[in-house]
C-alpha cells in the first residue's frame, strides 16, 4: 500500500451514514474504473469528497473496506451509535494485494456451523480483505451438503450420535447428538452473499479418506470387511477408505456434478489427504475425479498427498505437510496454495499458558502467524489459513481460535514485508482489536483466555 498526503491530515466531515454494510459501505463515493493491478484500488479523500478508483468489483469492495477502517471502530458496528457525519483523514491510498488467493479453510464437517454463522464468517473474511472461503463440507464426522439424489448422505451422514471431547485415546464420548446440513438453496445463498463481498466459496468433498459419513449412509461405497458403520465419533485419521470401484466413482461423479451446479467457483476441492494404506487404485480414483472436474471446465484442488500419485491434470495443490512440496507441485505443472501445518493452522494451540483451551498441535501464537513468510513465484497462487473444527464446538470457540491470528495472517496475505512484530502489535491493539470488539468477535485476548474461554473439561494433546 502506498499512502500520500497523510502527513497533512485534514480530518474533514464527509456526509455519510455510519451504519456499515460489509460492501458497499455507504459512504457516498464517486467510483471510477482504473488501470490498477487486479483487485486494486486508489482512494482520494479530499475536503470536497471521496473518489474511489478500482480495477474491478473486488477493488471497489476493498476501497470501501479501507474507508470503513479509516472511519474508526464504530464503523464496524451493526448500526450507528452516533449522530452526525463521519470524519475521514484526507490523502491518497493506492493499494492492491500481494497474492491472488487469500483464503481460510472453514471446517463445517467436524462441527456444523449454521448458515447465519457462515454468513458472519464471510463478513469477517471480507473485513480482512481475504477472498477465498474454502468450505470443508464432508468428513468422517459428517456430511453437510443436501444431495437430493442420495438423501441418506444427510439423513444418515449428516449427524453423529456423540463426540469425543478434547483429544484422548479413551472410549469416553459426550453422549450428545451433533449434526446439521445445508439445504441447496442455503448453499446458493452463501455463494451469492460471499460474491457480493468479493469472496469465492471453494467447496471441498474429501475423498478417498475422510469419508466415513458417506460410507455410513451408503455402505456399498466402503470396504466390505468393515461393518457396521457409524458416523465417526472420534477425531484423528480414520483408516477406513472408499472402495475405489467403478460404481463408487460413478457415485462421486454424480455428487460432484451436483456440487458444480451449486458452486460456480473455478476451483473445486476433492481432498486427497491423510489416506493410510492408499493403493494405486485409490490414486487412480482421485485422478478420475480430477479428470471429471477438468472435463466440466473446473480446476481440481487437492491436498499435497495427491502429488504422490503422479500423472495428474493441472491442479491447485494445498501445500500443508512440507513446504518443499510447493516446488514438487510446480514441477508437475500445478499451482500451490501455501497452508503449512507448522505455520497457519488456527486449531493449534496459541500459547503454553496452562489455561489455553484444548491445547492441541504445535504452539502457533500471534507472533508466529505474523512471521509466516510464504515464498512467492509464478507457481504460488496464494496462501490459506486453516480452521479445522474438531475442538471448536461453538462459534465462540471459533472466534477465539481465529482471531486475532487471522488478522495477522491477512496482513501477510495482502502485503509484502518487511514485517516488524513490535510495530504490528500496538497497531493491532490500538486500532484493530477495537474493530473486532465493535464487530462482536470474541477473540483471544493478548494476555490469555478469560475464565469462560478456558476448557478445563477438555484434554488436549500438545506436540
Among residues 409, 392, 388, the alpha carbon closest in space to that of 400 is found at: 392
Grouping H, G, I as helix, E, B as strand and the rest as coil, residue 92 is: strand
* Gyration radius from the chain CA atoms: 23
| Catalytic, out of 174, 274, 342, 437 | 274
Query: What distance, in Å, lies between the first and last C-alpha atoms of the chain?
Result: 38
Q: Quote the cell numbers at residue 438.
A: 465493535
Q: How far apart are CA 259 and CA 262, in angstroms?
A: 5
* String of contacts with ligand ACM for each residue 318-357, x by CB under 6 A: --x-------------------------------------
Instruction: Answer for the pair 400, 443: CB distance below 8 angstroms, yes or no.
Output: yes
Q: Which residues pair with 408 in a beta bridge?
A: none
Shortest gap between Cβ of 130 and ligand ACM (angstroms)? Answer: 18
Handedness of CA 154, 103, 61, 39 (dihedral sign): negative
Shortest gap between Cβ of 105 and ligand ACM (angstroms)? Answer: 8
Q: How far apart are CA 351 and CA 266, in angstroms?
A: 37
Q: Verify whether residue 291 is a known catalytic residue.
A: no
Shortest gap between Cβ of 261 and ligand ACM (angstroms)? Answer: 26
Shortest gap between Cβ of 384 and ligand ACM (angstroms)? Answer: 10
Binding to ligand ACM, residues 36-65 (CB under 6 A): none
The helix or strand, by DSSP H or E, that contains position 228, with its residue range, turns out to be none
**Residues 240, 242, 247, CA angle at the centre, nearest 5°?**
155
The residue with its CB nearest to ligand ACM is 273
**345 or 443: CB nearest ligand ACM:** 345
Shortest gap between Cβ of 46 and ligand ACM (angstroms)? Answer: 48
**18 or 389: CB nearest ligand ACM:** 389
Q: Verify whether residue 282 is a known catalytic residue.
A: no
In b/e form, how buried is each residue of 212-246, taking b as 16+ CB within 10 angstroms?
A: bbbbbbbbebbeeeeeebebbbbbeebebbbbbee
Q: Which residues pair with 160 in a beta bridge?
A: 178
Whether omega for the bond prior to residue 404 falls within 30 degrees of 0, making it cis, is: yes
Shortest gap between Cβ of 305 and ligand ACM (angstroms)? Answer: 8
**303 or 400: CB nearest ligand ACM:** 303
**303 or 443: CB nearest ligand ACM:** 303
| Catalytic, out of 39, 139, 204, 243 | 139
HEC profile for 316-365?
Answer: EEEECCCCCHHHHHHHCCCEEEECCCCCCECCCCCCCCCCCCCCEECCCC
Shortest gap between Cβ of 320 and ligand ACM (angstroms)? Answer: 4
Instruction: Answer for the pair 123, 94: CB distance below 8 angstroms, yes or no.
Output: no
Q: How far apart are CA 16 and CA 322, in angstroms?
A: 49
Q: How many helices and strands in the chain, by DSSP H and E?
A: 13, 21
| Catalytic, out of 128, 134, 178, 210 | 210
Among residues 340, 296, 297, 346, the alpha carbon closest in space to that of 317 is found at: 340
Instruction: Answer for the pair 98, 24: CB distance below 8 angstroms, yes or no.
Output: no
Size of the site for ligand ACM (CB under 6 A): 4
**274 or 437: CB nearest ligand ACM:** 274
**Residue 72 Rama label (left phi>0; alpha psi -120 to 50; beta):** left
117 — phi, psi (to 5°)?
-70, -35
Shortest gap between Cβ of 387 and ligand ACM (angstroms)? Answer: 11
Q: Verify whether residue 273 is a known catalytic residue.
A: no
**186 or 274: CB nearest ligand ACM:** 274
Q: Residue 424 class from Cβ within 10 Å (0-12 exposed, 13-18 middle, 19+ buried)?
A: middle
Determine, following the binding rule CB under 6 A, whether residue 303 of this chain makes contact with ligand ACM: yes
Instruction: Tell me which of 87, 274, 342, 437 binds ligand ACM, using CB under 6 A.
Output: 274
Shortest gap between Cβ of 84 and ligand ACM (angstroms)? Answer: 49
**143 or 303: CB nearest ligand ACM:** 303
**40 or 359: CB nearest ligand ACM:** 359
Instruction: Tell me which of 17, 87, 273, 437 binds ligand ACM, using CB under 6 A.
Output: 273
**25 or 303: CB nearest ligand ACM:** 303
Residues with active-site annotation: 139, 210, 274
* Site residues for ligand ACM per CB under 6 A: 273-274, 303, 320
Amino acid at each position: 500500500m502506498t499512502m500520500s498526503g497523510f502527513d497533512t491530515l485534514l480530518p474533514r466531515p464527509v456526509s455519510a451514514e455510519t451504519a456499515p454494510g460489509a460492501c458497499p459501505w455507504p459512504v457516498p463515493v464517486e467510483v471510477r474504473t482504473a488501470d490498477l493491478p487486479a483487485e486494486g484500488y486508489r482512494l482520494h479523500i479530499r475536503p470536497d469528497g471521496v473518489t474511489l478508483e478500482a480495477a474491478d468489483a473486488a477493488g471497489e469492495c476493498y476501497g470501501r473496506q479501507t474507508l470503513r477502517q479509516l472511519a474508526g471502530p464504530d464503523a464496524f458496528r451493526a448500526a450507528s451509535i452516533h449522530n452526525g457525519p463521519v470524519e475521514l483523514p484526507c490523502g491518497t491510498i493506492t493499494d492492491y494485494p500481494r497474492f491472488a488467493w487469500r483464503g481460510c479453510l472453514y471446517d463445517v464437517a467436524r462441527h456444523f456451523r449454521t448458515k447465519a454463522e457462515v454468513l458472519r464468517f464471510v463478513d469477517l473474511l471480507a473485513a480482512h480483505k481475504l477472498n477465498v472461503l474454502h468450505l470443508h463440507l464432508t468428513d468422517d464426522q459428517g456430511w453437510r451438503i443436501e444431495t437430493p439424489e442420495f438423501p441418506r448422505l444427510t439423513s444418515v451422514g449428516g449427524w453423529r450420535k456423540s463426540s469425543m471431547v478434547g483429544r484422548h485415546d479413551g472410549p469416553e464420548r459426550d453422549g450428545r447428538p451433533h449434526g446439521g446440513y445445508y439445504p441447496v438453496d442455503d448453499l446458493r445463498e452463501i455463494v451469492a452473499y460471499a460474491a457480493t463481498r468479493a469472496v469465492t466459496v471453494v467447496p471441498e468433498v474429501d475423498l478417498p479418506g475422510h469419508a466415513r459419513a458417506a460410507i455410513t449412509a451408503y455402505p456399498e461405497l466402503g470396504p466390505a470387511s468393515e461393518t457396521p458403520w457409524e458416523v465417526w465419533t472420534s477425531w484423528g485419521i480414520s483408516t477406513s477408505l472408499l472402495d475405489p470401484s467403478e460404481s463408487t466413482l460413478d457415485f462421486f461423479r454424480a455428487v460432484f456434478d451436483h456440487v458444480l451446479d451449486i458452486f460456480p467457483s473455478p476451483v473445486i476441492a476433492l481432498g486427497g489427504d491423510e489416506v493410510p494404506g492408499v493403493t494405486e487404485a485409490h490414486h487412480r480414483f482421485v485422478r478420475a475425479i480430477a479428470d471429471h472436474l477438468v472435463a466440466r471446465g473446473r480446476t481440481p484442488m487437492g491436498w499435497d498427498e495427491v502429488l504422490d500419485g503422479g500423472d495428474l491434470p493441472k491442479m491447485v495443490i494445498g501445500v500443508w505437510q512440507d513446504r518443499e512440496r510447493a516446488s514438487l507441485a510446480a514441477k508437475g505443472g500445478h499451482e500451490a496454495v501455501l497452508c503449512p501445518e507448522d505455520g497457519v493452522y488456527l486449531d493449534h494451540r496459541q500459547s503454553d499458558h496452562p489455561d489455553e483451551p484444548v491445547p492441541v498441535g504445535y504452539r502457533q501464537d500471534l507472533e508466529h502467524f505474523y512471521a509466516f513468510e510464504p515464498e512467492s513465484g509464478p507457481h504460488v497462487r496464494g496462501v490459506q489459513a486453516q480452521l479445522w473444527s474438531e475442538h471448536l464446538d461453538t462459534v465462540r470457540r471459533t472466534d477465539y481460535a481465529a482471531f486475532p491470528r487471522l488478522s495477522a495472517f491477512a496482513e501477510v496475505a495482502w502485503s509484502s514485508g518487511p514485517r516488524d512484530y513490535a510495530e504490528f502489535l500496538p497497531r493491532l491493539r490500538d486500532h484493530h482489536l477495537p474493530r473486532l470488539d465493535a464487530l462482536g468477535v470474541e477473540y483471544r485476548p493478548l494476555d490469555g483466555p478469560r475464565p469462560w474461554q478456558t476448557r478445563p473439561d477438555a484434554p488436549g494433546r500438545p506436540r
